[in-house]
Every structure is written in C-alpha cells, then in structure tokens.
Amino acid sequence: MIASPRLLRERLESEVLSPRARRAADSRGRERAEPDDDLRTSFERDRDRIIHCKAFRRLAHKTQVFLAPEGDHYRVRLTHTLEVASVARTIARALRLNEDLAEAICLGHDLGHTPFGHLGEEIVAQFLPGFRHNLQSVRVVEVLENLNLTWEVRDGIANHTWSMPMPETLEGQIARFADRIAYLNHDIDDAVRAGILTEDELPNSTRSVLGGSHSHRIHAMIQDLVTTSGTGDEIRLSPLIFDAMAETRGFLFERVYVGRVTEATRDRVARILTTLLEHHASAGDGAARQRAVDYVAGMTDRFALRAFGDIAAHAFPGEGLLG
C-alpha cells in the first residue's frame, strides 16, 4: 500500500529534522479532534487555514508604523508578516527545525492587531484593560475565525511578544526573534524613505556591529542567531548582537515610534477608536465591551475611518480624521 503524502512528509521530518525540532506527528493536537489530512501535515494545514482566513486578508490595510501613508512602498501589517515568515523560515531551515510550524506561527502572530498600529493598541487597551494584540491574535484564530489550530501554533502566537514567557517550541522562539529582526530592519528602511532619519544618524554601535545597510543588518542578525543557537534547548543571540539590537530599538522608539507621532494625531486616533468602541458597546456590560473590541480591533485603518465618519459626521463636521 502506498503511503499518503502526509505520511511521507512526516517520515521525512523524522529523518531530516534535528532532534530538537517539533515534528508534526508529535503535535499536542487541536482542541477539537479532527481526522488527519491525506496531503498535509497538521502544521501545513494550520499555515493554510491562516492564509485563507479573513483576518489575514485585512492585514493588507492595517498600519505597521506610518499612519495613513501616502507612499506605495511603506510596510503594512501584511508585508511585515510576510517578512517575519521569510526570516523565520531561513532560520528554521538552517537549524533543521520545523519550517512549517515556524511559518504558521509567524503568519498568525499579528492577526489580532488593531488599526493604527501600536497607538491603536494603546487606545483599545484603555477601553478594555488587559487587551494585548498577541492574545487577541489567539482569540481570532480560536473564537472569531474558529480555525482550530494546533497547540504549538497557538502557543507561538500567544508568546511571540517579549512581555510573555518564551514559547515552548524552538520554532515559536524563532518566530519571536524573527518578528524583532524583521521590524527593526524594515522600520529603519521606511523611516529613511520617509525622510525621518538617515543611515548616518543610527547609533554608532548599530552601524559598527550590525552594518550600514538593510542587507548587512538583517544578515548579521540572522547569521548570529543561527550560529549562537546551533546547540542547546533555546534560541538566542550573542550578547554583542542582542545589545546592538536593543540600542537600535530604543533609538527607533525615540525617533520613529513615539517621537514622530504628534499630539494632534494621537488625539484624533483616540477619538476615532474611542467613538467606535463606545458606539458598539452601548449595552455597557462586559460582554458588550468584548464584542465591541473584537469588532473594532479587527477593522482595517480605512474601514475604521469610514465607520467613524458614518457615526460622527454630525458631531465633528469638517474635521480631518488623521490630520
């Protein structure tokens, strides 16, 4: 009897992957048991379910850093997600870990992000304390989209942010590092394109340790991660590269993430999202507030602007939405 493509893939994983890898055949499974697919492993199915869900498509119209950008080449949540997945696959392949698991986690990690970037997340968290985009991403795949993903993918999505415990799998840890590697590099690229800073303004340690161009920086980070994580039970960077990345991140927070957002823009985003949240939580109880958050957090930037316009046209006549 000829084995199914899935069984052949699982056999290949057992023969090729590192003993440290999480094999699809060894998954802790789904909350609701399902028959195995003849063609794909469980992690491959998870990847496909995420790509085909509505929340994934909406990432194309959600801000990454620049609010309502006029240029066509600035990153949005979708392009960020694809870059994170690309970095993760490179790392997982080099370490002989499970690329499909790492990719699925990366593709789903930002599904719960709000419109208007991290500023939007702050506003939603004020309305519903405890809101975090990583936990909302898990809520998207578990409740709102009902994808019934494997435990390993959900663990990686929930714990991809650095305020959370390390994911249990090395593939989930890769996703956490890949997220930071990707956004540090592409946010510098976008900030230079926007004229906010130049390469020469980056901290000296950043340029001397990580390199003076996008390609040099991303290669330095990935190469160091692969070299440093070649053995052992965790994914890690060398202290030199980790510290250089931390300094770069601090610089970007000061110059790009926080420093460039005007109070007028902050106030308008707060007014837009607060108006939408209060409108959709008019019943006032906790369940209504959660439903409002689910709906508003799932909006794209442009849909949020249109919805606010419909609700508040008479209250704020003639006012620009983002200024």
Mean pLDDT of 62-66: 73
Give the pLDDT confidence score for residue 72 in this predicted structure. Answer: 55
Of 78-82, 284-288, 300-304, minimum mean pLDDT range: 284-288
State mean pLDDT over 179-208.
Answer: 90
- Alpha carbon 156 to its chain centroid, in Å, reads 11
Q: What is the mean pLDDT of residues 44-58?
A: 98
pLDDT at 70 over 70: no
Domains of the chain, by residue range, sit at: 40-312
Burial of 274 (0-12, 13-18, 19+ CB in 10 A): middle
pLDDT at 169 over 80: yes
Assess if CATH 2.120.10.80 describes domain 40-312. no
List beta partners, residue 63: 76
User: Hey, which residues does 251 pair with through a beta bridge?
Assistant: none
- Cα dihedral value 112, 118, 122, 124, nearest 10: -30
| Residue whose C-alpha is closest to residue 82's, from 119, 108, 114 | 108
pLDDT higher at 289 or 1: 289
Q: How confident is the model at residue 315 (pLDDT cuts 50, 70, 90)?
A: low
Residues 6+ apart with CB under 8 A from 187: 64, 65, 75, 252, 256, 257
* Residue of 284, 286, 273, 285 whose CA lies nearest to 125: 273
CA separation for the pair 85, 105 (Å, rounded): 8
Does residue 73 register a pLDDT over 60? no
Q: What is the pLDDT of residue 319?
A: 54
Closest CA to 79 of 222, 171, 152, 87: 87
**Residue in 7, 99, 94, 3 with CA at minimum distance from that of residue 44:** 99
pLDDT given at position 318: 57
DSSP string for 173-226: HHHHHHHHHHHHHHHHHHHHHTTS--GGGS-HHIIIII-SSHHHHHHHHHHHHH
Q: How far apart are CA 302 and CA 291, in angstroms?
A: 20
Q: Check if the beta carbon of residue 280 is closer than 8 Å to that of residue 296.
A: yes
Q: Name the token pair of 3.
A: 């084995």
Whether the pLDDT of residue 250 is over 70: the answer is yes
**Orientation angle between helical segments 117-127 and 286-297, nearest 10 degrees:** 170
pLDDT attached to residue 1: 62
Per-residue pLDDT tens for 90-107?
999 999 999 999 999 999
Mean pLDDT of the chain: 92
